[in-house]
């Protein structure tokens, strides 16, 4: 009897071991959910699962606070997390991430500003000028100085109520060259914003609100994320956009400190930023590849490239936001902006 029992136990042990050996490795990827994460699933995660023969589970997050909570509580659930660029820069300062292994991750074709010791960009989005075509036709404002020119382009405006990007925009409108923005001349930015304030119908709080303002014709000119503008236009908004003087911003990938599958996560990130997979992102969502080499894979036609915000031609017309600057100044300037808006 005891013999049989022992045999049974041994057998289950062997079977159990065999089962785990044949099962694929599982890692968890967390991102912002919605259409964005669905696009990441199709363009990036599905092909990576096949290539590495692993299973990538998904979770959603709302920002750096989630990663911070897991790392501080020593209960890290995620192996790879997608965050906003400024959050990545902030997390680096706080030491929340594992260093990335650039022996595994190839960075050719990625702007060095988007490559850091423990984070790397994954997609670009842009803040662009959008205008109502019923009001201004196809020849809307082409620079932020035009947006500030209420004689040439009479009508209402809308900008983000957040400090970042709105301050850069105000400075460009006042004549600061896009490559000379940082460190921001805050006083000059506030003065510039004060000039346009009477023409601002609403300071938007979310991407959805900015799209609504454009679509309803509430705001004749909106500083808006290109993805939101694209979706609004597709949805029937009478509007057009230009990449001129746009601000390139990025989402980035990190490995939270203490992630259980750190080594595999490095390989996954390497594939996520590789030109081959990056080239598929614009098929599923209005975001641009972080890796410029994606445009040389032959997967993107020249017509498509003309529309994508991070194609070499469009990148040249825009400027890249400084995450480092905003890491150091976000709190201070948020208070300043808030006081200004309430005046």
Partner 1 sequence: MNVAGLRADAARERAVLAALASPAFLILGGLLFIPAGWLFWLSFYDETGLSLANYRRMVTEPAYLSVFGVTLELSLLVTVLAVCLGYPLAYMIAKLPGRAATICLTLVLVPFWTALLVRTYAWLVLLQRRGILNTLLMKWGLIDQLLALVHNFTGTAIGMLHIMIPFLVLPVYANMRALDHDYMRAAASLGASPASAFWRVYLPLTFPGLAAGTVMVFVICLGFYVTPQFLGGGRVTTVSMKIQQNVTTYVDWGAASALGVVLFVMTAGIFWLASRVLSLRSLTGMQPP
Task: Give the residues lining the site for partner 1 (CB under 8 A).
Answer: 63, 65, 68, 90, 94, 156, 161, 201-205, 209, 212, 216-218, 330-331, 334-336, 338-339, 341-343
Q: How far apart are CA 56 and CA 82, in angstroms?
A: 14
Contact 282, 265 (CB under 8 A): no
CB closer to partner 1, 228 vs 267: 228
CB closer to partner 1, 263 vs 335: 335
CB closer to partner 1, 148 vs 204: 204
CB closer to partner 1, 92 vs 209: 209
Which two three-digit tokens encode residue 56?
């990538």
Contact 153, 180 (CB under 8 A): no
CB closer to partner 1, 74 vs 342: 342
**CA atoms lying within 13 Å on the CB side of residue 83:** 28
CA distance readout (Å), 79 to 66, 74, 75, 269, 311? 13, 13, 12, 10, 30
- DSSP 8-state class, residue 110: B
CB closer to partner 1, 22 vs 62: 62
Closest separation in Å from C-beta 202 to partner 1: 4
Contact 166, 194 (CB under 8 A): no
Q: How far apart are CA 312 and CA 120, in angstroms?
A: 19
CB closer to partner 1, 130 vs 294: 130
Q: If you count DSSP H runs as helices and E runs as strands, how many of each does the chain have, helices first? A: 17, 10
Q: Quick count: other Cβ atoms within 10 Å of Cβ 202?
A: 17
Closest separation in Å from C-beta 217 to partner 1: 5
Closest separation in Å from C-beta 307 to partner 1: 29
Closest separation in Å from C-beta 128 to partner 1: 20
**Residue with tokens 């014709």, as numbered in its chain:** 217
Q: Phi and psi of 241, rounded to 5°?
A: -135, 165
Closest separation in Å from C-beta 62 to partner 1: 9
Q: How far apart are CA 325 and CA 243, in angstroms?
A: 23
Helix (H, G, I), strand (E, B) or coil at 84: strand
Kindly state the helix (H) or strand (E) to which residue 121 belongs, with its residue range: strand 120-132
Instruction: Count Cβ atoms within 10 A of the Cβ of residue 72 and give its class: 0-12 exposed, 13-18 middle, 19 or more buried.
Output: exposed
Among candidate residues 125, 123, 113, 35, the one with its CA nearest the CA of residue 82:
123
Closest separation in Å from C-beta 161 to partner 1: 4
Closest separation in Å from C-beta 207 to partner 1: 14
Closest separation in Å from C-beta 218 to partner 1: 5
Closest separation in Å from C-beta 16 to partner 1: 40
Instruction: Count Cβ atoms within 10 A of the Cβ of residue 273 and give its class: 0-12 exposed, 13-18 middle, 19 or more buried.
Output: buried
CB closer to partner 1, 170 vs 281: 170
CB closer to partner 1, 63 vs 207: 63
């Amino acid at each position: 009897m005891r013999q049989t029992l022992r045999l049974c136990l041994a057998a289950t042990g062997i079977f159990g071991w065999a089962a785990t050996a044949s099962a694929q490795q599982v890692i968890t990827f967390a991102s912002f959910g919605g259409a964005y994460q669905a696009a990441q699933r199709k363009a990036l995660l599905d092909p990576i699962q096949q290539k590495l023969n692993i299973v990538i589970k998904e979770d959603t997050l709302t920002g750096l606070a989630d990663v911070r909570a897991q790392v501080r509580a020593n209960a890290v659930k995620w192996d790879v997390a997608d965050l906003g660029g400024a959050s990545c820069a902030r997390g680096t300062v706080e030491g929340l991430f594992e260093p990335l292994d650039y022996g595994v991750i190839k960075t050719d074709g990625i702007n060095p500003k988007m490559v850091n010791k423990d984070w790397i960009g994954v997609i670009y989005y842009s803040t662009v000028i959008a205008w109502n075509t019923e009001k201004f036709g196809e020849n809307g404002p082409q620079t932020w100085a035009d947006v500030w020119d209420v004689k040439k382009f009479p009508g209402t405006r809308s900008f983000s109520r957040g400090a970042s990007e709105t301050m850069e925009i105000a400075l460009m409108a006042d004549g600061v060259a896009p490559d000379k923005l940082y460190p921001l001349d805050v006083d000059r930015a506030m003065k510039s914003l004060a000039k346009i304030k009477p023409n601002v119908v609403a300071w938007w709080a979310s991407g959805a609100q900015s799209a609504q303002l454009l679509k309803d014709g509430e705001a004749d000119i909106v500083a808006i994320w290109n993805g939101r503008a694209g979706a609004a236009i597709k949805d029937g908004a009478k509007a057009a956009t230009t990449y001129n003087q746009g601000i390139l911003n990025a989402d980035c990938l990190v490995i939270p400190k203490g992630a259980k599958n750190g080594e595999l996560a490095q390989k996954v990130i390497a594939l996520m930023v590789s030109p081959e997979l990056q080239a598929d992102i614009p098929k599923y969502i209005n975001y641009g590849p972080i890796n410029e080499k994606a445009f040389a894979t032959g997967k993107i036609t020249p017509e498509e490239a003309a529309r994508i915000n991070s194609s070499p031609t469009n990148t040249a017309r825009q400027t890249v936001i400084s995450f480092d600057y905003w890491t150091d100044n976000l709190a201070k300037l948020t208070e300043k902006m808030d006081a200004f808006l309430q005046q």
